[in-house]
Amino acid sequence: MLENKCNCGDGNNCNKISEEAINKIKDIIESHKEQEGALIEVLHEVQDYYGYLPFEVQKLISEEMGIALADIYGVVTFYTRFTIEPTGKYRISVCLGTACYVKGSQKIYDKIKEKLNIKEGEVTPDGKFSLDAARCVGACGLAPVMLVNEDVYGKVTADMIDEILGKYE
């Protein structure tokens, strides 16, 4: 049975968005006003700004853009790049697509999990790093590939992990 619960995250404090964030999100939507099919771009920009796309944020987008919430949620959950859970300040994605996997990206992925002591989709307790697996980032020539936010690292080996993550300490 589905639980009759609200959408207030883990604690008892609902995720109310601040006035400032509401205005910023409205500005983003406004800048795409005349553009047809702007939803995905809006979602990208809002996620870049807010970090993730929780219920309250999607509801605001739904109201401002006149798109049904179910449709927005459908898009957000279809693309792995979007997340409805909070992410770390630095989002690590390790490509587990075919080429990277063959070149041993699973080892890299496991090493990061071990080092940060988090599982897929989780955030470190200090909120710094979050980890997820990507399915091909379109840089197979550099396999195995990992990303930290917008930075791309190619031909990664397990030995390089400490150095790479060290840059974001």
Partner 1 sequence: MENVKVTIDGKIVEVPKDYTVLKACREAGIKIPTLCYLKDVNQIGACRMCLVEIDNIRGLQASCVYPVYEGMNIHTNNEQIRQARKVNLELILSNHNRECTTCIRSENCELQQLSKELNIKDIEYEGEKNAPPIDDISPSIVRDNSKCILCRRCVSMCKDVQKVNAIQATDRGFKTEIGVGFNKSMNDYNCINCGQCIQACPVGALYEKRNMDQVWKALADKEKYVMVQTAPAVRTALGEEFGMPMGTRVTGKMVTALRKLGFAKVTDTNTGADLTILEEGTEFLDRVVNGTGKLPIITSCCPAWVKSCEQDYPDVLEHLSSAKSPHLMMGSILKHFYAEKAGIDMNKAFVVSVMPCIAKKFEQDRPEMEARGARDVDVTITTRELAMMIKEAGIDFVKLEDSKFDDPIGEATGAGAIFGATGGVAEAAFRTVVEKLTGHEIEQIEYHQLRGEKKIKEFSAQAGDRTLRGVIVSGIGNIKEILEEVRHGESKYDFIEIMACEGGCIMGGGQPIVNARTKEDVNVFEKRAAAIYEEDTKAELRRSHKNPFVLRLYEEFLEKPNSHVSHELLHTGYKKRDKYPDECKKQ
Residues at the interface with partner 1 (CB under 8 A): 1-8, 12, 14, 55-56, 59, 62, 68-71, 73-74, 77-78, 84
Rounded least distance, CB 39 to partner 1, Å? 13
The full DSSP string for 19-41 is HHHHHHHHHHHHTTTT-TT-HHH
Rounded least distance, CB 83 to partner 1, Å? 13
Alpha carbons 137 and 139: distance in angstroms, whole number? 6
Please, which residue, 8 or 136, has the CB nearer to partner 1? 8
Rounded least distance, CB 114 to partner 1, Å? 26
Please, which residue, 82 or 153, has the CB nearer to partner 1? 82
Alpha carbons 158 and 88: distance in angstroms, whole number? 21
CB under 8 Å to 131, separation ≥6 — which residues?
92, 93, 94, 112, 113, 116, 118, 119, 120, 121, 122
Alpha carbons 146 and 24: distance in angstroms, whole number? 30
Please, which residue, 16 or 155, has the CB nearer to partner 1? 16
Please, which residue, 12 or 18, has the CB nearer to partner 1? 12
Rounded least distance, CB 56 to partner 1, Å? 7
Both tokens assigned to 136: 């091909």
